[in-house]
Amino acid sequence: MKANAENQESESKMDGLKWVVVFALLAAAVVGNYLYSDVSVVLRSSAVVALVVIAGIFAALTAKGKSVVTFARESRMEVRKVVWPTRQEATQTTFIVLAVTIVMALALWGIDGVMVRLVRLVTGA
C-alpha cells in the first residue's frame, strides 16, 4: 500500500510537468502562428496541427487524460447500442414537432394579443 501511495504521488508530480508541457506546446502553436505570419499558411497550419496533436498526446498521458480516453471509449460502445430511428420515423417526428411549435406560437400570440387589449382597457392607454 505504501508503494502504491508513493507511486501515485510520483505520478501526480509528473502530471503537473506534463500539463506544463501541454500548455507550453499550445502557447508555442499560438505564438508561432502569430510570429511566422509571413510563412506559408500550409506550413503554419501543419505546424499548429502537429503541436496540438503532440499536446493532446501529452494530455492523454496524465491521470485526467486517461480518464477522458476511457470515458470516450465507453461512450463509443454505448452509442453502438443505441437503436436509431428510421428515416420515416425521424421525418414524422420532425413534422410533429414543427406542427406543435406552430400551434403553440399561434396560441401564445393570441393570448398575448388578448392580454395587451385587457391591459389597455384597464389602464386606459
Q: pLDDT digit string (tens) for 29-70?
A: 999 999 998 999 999 999 999 999 999 999 999 999 999 999
What is d(CA 112, CA 106) in angstroms, rounded to the nearest whole number?
A: 10
Question: Which segments of the chain are extended strands (E)?
Answer: none
Is 4 a residue whose pLDDT tops 70?
Answer: no
* Residue 85 DSSP symbol: P
pLDDT of 34 reads 92
| Residue 44, H or E segment | helix 41-60
Q: What does the block give as the cell for 38?
A: 509571413
Q: pLDDT digit string (tens) for 61-84?
A: 999 999 999 999 999 999 999 999
